[in-house]
Amino acid sequence: MLVIIKTMKKTSQQNWDQSLSQLGGHLYQSSLWAKFQQAQGREVLQDQGDGWLWMGAIRRSALKINYLYVAYGPTVRDEAALKKCLASIRHRAIAAGVVFVRTDIIKNFSPSKLQAMGLVPRPDMQPKYRMLLDIDKSTDELWMGVSQSARSYINSAKKRGLEFEISENPADLKIFLKMQAITAQRQGVRNHPDSYYLHLLSALIPSGACKLYFARTKDQYIASALCIDWGKTRYYAYAATDDELNRTTRGATVLLWWLIENAKSSGLQRFDYGGVVPLDWDSHPWIGHSRFKSRFGGEIIEGSGTWDLPINKPKYKLYKLATKFRKK
In order, the DSSP letters of 33-47 are HHHHHHHTT--EEEE
> What does CATH list as the number for 3-126+304-327?
3.40.630.30
d(CA 252, CA 272): 16
Domain boundaries, the chain: 3-126+304-327, 129-302
Q: Do domains 3-126+304-327 and 129-302 have the same CATH topology?
A: yes
Q: Which residues pair with 305 in a beta bridge?
A: none
Identify the band that residue 11 occupies on the pLDDT scale cut at 50, 70 and 90. low
pLDDT tens track for 32-75: 999 999 999 999 999 999 999 999 999 998 888 999 999 999 99
With beta carbons less than 8 A apart as the criterion, state whether 6 and 216 touch: no
Task: Tell me the percentage of the chain whose pLDDT exceeds 90.
Answer: 87
**pLDDT the model gives residue 6:** 44
With beta carbons less than 8 A apart as the criterion, state whether 261 and 143 touch: no
Q: At a CB cut-off of 8 Å and minimum separation 6, what does 205 contact?
A: 168, 170, 211
pLDDT higher than 50, residue 5: no
Look at 3-12, 99-108, 126-135, 276-285 and tell me which has the smallest mean pLDDT: 3-12
pLDDT tens track for 80-96: 999 999 999 999 999 99
pTM score of the predicted model: 0.93
118: three-class secondary structure by DSSP = coil
- Burial class of 207 by CB neighbour count within 10 A (0 to 12, 13 to 18, 19+): middle
> What does CATH list as the number for 129-302?
3.40.630.30
d(CA 166, CA 168): 7
C-alpha dist (Å) from residue 283 to 125, 163, 323: 20, 35, 26
pLDDT tens track for 235-263: 999 999 998 999 999 999 999 999 999 99
d(CA 70, CA 28): 8
